[in-house]
Amino acid sequence: MHISLVPETLGHIGSFIVTNTLLTSWVVMLVLIVLAFWAGRKPKLIPSKKQNIFEFIVETILNFFEEVWGDKEKARKYFAFLATFFLFILVSNWFGLIPGVGTIGFREDEELVPFMRSLNSDLNATVAWAIISVIATQIAGFVALGVKKHLGKFFNFKSPIDFFVGILELISEISKLISFSFRLFGNVFAGEVLLMVMMFLVPYILPLPFFMLEMFVGLIQALVFTTLTLVFLKMATEHH
């Protein structure tokens, strides 16, 4: 049984290491981009069936964002950014459940090295998501409130208590990096380990409910990541 915390190296491009999770991310990106181009070609005022499906997806996500944010304009403004998080994380989570991903590979000194592996089971990927989310929130705060007001949330010299609250806010921003990345990484990696163990114990029928659980968890984690980013964006861009 092969469980590895570290993504396995498939090869090198010059001195750049290509891991199997990187390959998966390229495949997922290709799928999403091709889907987006195919969906957006020749839109008609009265939608065809295929256009209807994509419009339904976009509308559902937009309605959800509007409901959580409360403010329709701002939800639309940040919709592209947040929906990308949601769709990319969702598709890469579900992609890791496809038969073959994580199980088909080549043999390298007694261990199986899979060709593709779920993207978010790689801590590098989830830390990247977290960094993008937190830095984007800070930039949105600077743009919406101005440099002084935004920095004034963290470095508040009005009174000793306000100063400590400011420092706590700063620490909480940094802890968001850790919590975002480890929440997603832990869920996906533990799910991978769980599926591997279940399939090792009883290969037929028994892993089915665990696959269903993993699909559900994949959806919920994408939803939670997006909702949390939305909530932090909302808190960063509103005037007290």
* Residue 126, burial from CB neighbour count under 10 angstroms (0-12, 13-18, 19+): buried
| Closest C-alpha to 195, from 65, 97, 88, 127 | 97
Q: Which of residues 101-130 bind another protein (CB under 8 A)?
A: none
From 43-51, 80-88, 129-137, 183-191, span contacting another protein (CB under 8 A): 183-191
**Minimal distance in Å, beta carbon 35 to another protein?**
27
223 forms part of the interface with another protein (CB under 8 A): yes
235 forms part of the interface with another protein (CB under 8 A): no
**Minimal distance in Å, beta carbon 190 to another protein?**
5
Both structure tokens of 106: 């080549």
**Minimal distance in Å, beta carbon 194 to another protein?**
10
How many residues does this entry show for the chain? 240
From the list 81, 182, 210, 211, which residue makes contact with another protein (rule: CB under 8 A)?
A: 182
152 forms part of the interface with another protein (CB under 8 A): no
Nearer to another protein, 27 or 193 (CB): 193
Q: Where are the beta strands (DSSP E) in 14-162?
A: 16-19, 105-108, 111-114
| Closest C-alpha to 151, from 131, 167, 128, 132 | 167
Q: Where are the beta strands (DSSP E) in 91-207?
A: 105-108, 111-114
From the list 29, 83, 183, 196, which residue makes contact with another protein (rule: CB under 8 A)?
A: 183
From the list 193, 196, 198, 213, which residue makes contact with another protein (rule: CB under 8 A)?
A: 193
17 forms part of the interface with another protein (CB under 8 A): no
Query: Is there a contact between 169 and 153 (Cβ–Cβ < 8 Å)?
Result: yes
Helix 123-145 to helix 160-201 angle, to the nearest 10 degrees? Answer: 150
**Minimal distance in Å, beta carbon 109 to another protein?**
17
Both structure tokens of 24: 């998966």
Query: Is there a contact between 82 and 65 (Cβ–Cβ < 8 Å)?
Result: yes
5 forms part of the interface with another protein (CB under 8 A): yes
Nearer to another protein, 25 or 229 (CB): 229
Beta-carbon count within 10 A of 120 CB: 30
From the list 186, 199, 211, 215, which residue makes contact with another protein (rule: CB under 8 A)?
A: 186
Nearer to another protein, 59 or 162 (CB): 59
State which amino acid sits at residue 204: Y
From 87-95, 129-137, 159-167, 181-189, span contacting another protein (CB under 8 A): 181-189
